[in-house]
A and B are shown apart, each in its own frame.
Chain A
Amino acid sequence: MKPYISLFRVRLLNGLQYRAAAFGGLATQFFWGLMLVFIFAAFYGEDGYSNGFSFSDLVTYIWLQQAFLAFIFLYDWDNELLEMITTGGISYELCRPVNLYQVWYVKLFSKRLASGLLRFSPTVLIGLLLPYPYNLSLPHSPLAFLLFIVTLFLALTLLVAIAMLIYISIFKTMHPGGSIMIFGVIGEFFSGLTIPIPLMPLWLQNVTLYLPFRYTADLPLRVYSGHIGTQEALMGIAMQIFWITILVTVGALIMKRITRLSVVQGG
């Protein structure tokens, strides 16, 4: 366990160094969020209500989404790992006396955690200070806030498990661009980041229930505003744990098989 913990610490500290990049990202996310808010304001029009998903719920959803992008957005890739797979640097990794799945998992997890921790607070702060109705509202209740923290943390855990499967698939295709783009786009849509899930037609909403993606973003974001109630949130947490267990187990198994079978081309 010890090597993984120290790897986690090193990576976290390393990630926390990139403050200028974080600042650039911050400004981008803020303006991006602002544009989205205006567009939805125009769609909602005067009455500000659409099938039970109110404009203020939506705005809160958007600000949280921008603030915690690093925790919930699949489309962010570690070039170091990608290069390792396609150029054969992987053979060094295989020589080390640690479990490859776990090492990579820790690397990805801590990188996202660092990036998220660096970026979330300014966006949240500005979001809270914006004038009504464009502001991030306070959590629905202390309990909702607690559930939000728990589901958000599990969301990150699940997201990394999904990302790991994509990295593993690159062993087979040897083509990072394709795999990443396809999974990234599908994941983005079904996790409710293209448009929020409550705004989708019912049949699509039902589809999202059977996929892991909505538990990586939609669940925590709506738990915060109380749009998903306590009981449903607890069900959601159970689903998150279910998906994490399955995907991590499957991922670790495939990784083991692939690394045993993989042929490193010499040279």
Chain B
Amino acid sequence: MKLYFKYVRLLLKSQTQYKASFALLLFSQFLYPFVSFAGIYLLFERFGNIHGWTMFEVFVSYAVIVMSFAVAECFSRGFDQFSNMIRTGLFDRVLVRPRGTVVQVLGSGFDIKRLSPFLFSVVVLILAIVFGDIQWTFVRAVMLFNMIVGGTVIFSGIYMLQATVSFWTIDGLEFANIFTHGIRQHAIYPLDIFPRGITIFLTFIIPFGTITYFPLQYLLGRIDGMGWLYAFMPLAGALFIVPCILAWRFGVRKYTSAGS
């Protein structure tokens, strides 16, 4: 753990070295979520609601997903870029060091520019809380927090799987975008607009439903029931990371270097 924070401190220093360039980067990173958010806003202005859900209800889901995606991207940058590590042979060096592979790969990348989408999602969340009408209770507050934590863990798990795949092939990794950027872009809407197959996939295989759709219904007062059950659902979804870590371990064991 101490080692990891040391890695992060070093990466942080190197990324903020050039002040003007850093500011420009933050601004440009802010622009993308802003424009996609504008798109969502304009659609609601045009259509009013989606399947009975109002704009501010979707904003909550949007904020949770963008926030957890930003945090996951920031910390799991190393896994996102892992195919480079394989290609350049850097991973061989990782293997000979007397530390775990996960902490070293995590420590190889830390992406501070994700601060922009993170801050942006905070603003959206505040907007949604102020203008939407959520009946706040303690359970619901815990729930919101868990949703963000669960989302971060799941996104990180996907990055880890993507990295694991690159033990075997570094072609066609573009497809993983469906699960990262695709989910960030599309899974913010209530899942029941999709056909059953996709809903089931997003509940049991990659359990995004557990961090947005199901708890959200309770959070927004659309369903009654055991509040605590829904509040801890996102953490159950976060168990997704377990098979991801196992897959990673398997990949590391099977890995044979190309030499050179």
Contacts and interface: CB of A to CB of B under 8 A. Distances in A.
Interface residues of B, number: 34
A136 B193 CA distance: 20
Given A24-B174, A28-B177, A39-B193, A199 B43 contact: yes
A95 interface: no
A267 interface: no
Nearest to B45: A201
B203 interface: no
Contacts of A41: 193
Interface in B165-224: 171-175, 177-178, 182, 185-186, 189, 193-195, 198
A177 interface: yes
Given A20-B171, A189-B35, A200-B42, A178 B21 contact: yes
Contact of B28 (A42, A181, A204): A181
Contacts of B173: 24
A194 B36 contact: yes
Interface stretch (A3-11, A29-37, A100-108, A252-260): A29-37
Contact of A175 (B24, B175, B186, B193): B24
B182 A42 contact: no
B186 A39 contact: yes
Contact of B178 (A28, A43, A45, A181): A28
Contact of A50 (B32, B46, B193, B194): B46
A218 interface: no
B174 A31 contact: no
Interface string B26-58: 011101100110110011011100110000000
Interface in A165-201: 173, 175, 177-178, 181-182, 185-186, 188-189, 194-195, 199-201
A189 B39 contact: yes
A201 B43 CA distance: 10
A36 B186 contact: yes
Nearest to A173: B24
Contacts, number: 95
Given A39-B189, A39-B193, A42-B50, A185 B21 contact: no
A239 interface: no
Interface residues of A, number: 36
B25 interface: yes
Given A21-B172, A24-B175, A50-B46, A194 B32 contact: no
Given A20-B171, A178-B24, A195-B39, A32 B47 contact: no
A173 B174 CA distance: 29
A220 to B, nearest CB: 21
Contacts of A43: 43, 46-47, 50
A185 B39 CA distance: 12
A133 interface: no
A44 interface: yes
A135 to B, nearest CB: 15
A216 B21 CA distance: 30
27 contacts: A20-B172, A21-B171, A21-B172, A24-B175, A31-B178, A32-B182, A35-B182, A35-B198, A36-B186, A38-B195, A38-B198, A39-B186, A39-B193, A43-B43, A44-B47, A45-B51, A175-B21, A175-B25, A177-B25, A181-B28, A185-B28, A186-B35, A194-B35, A194-B36, A195-B39, A195-B43, A204-B42
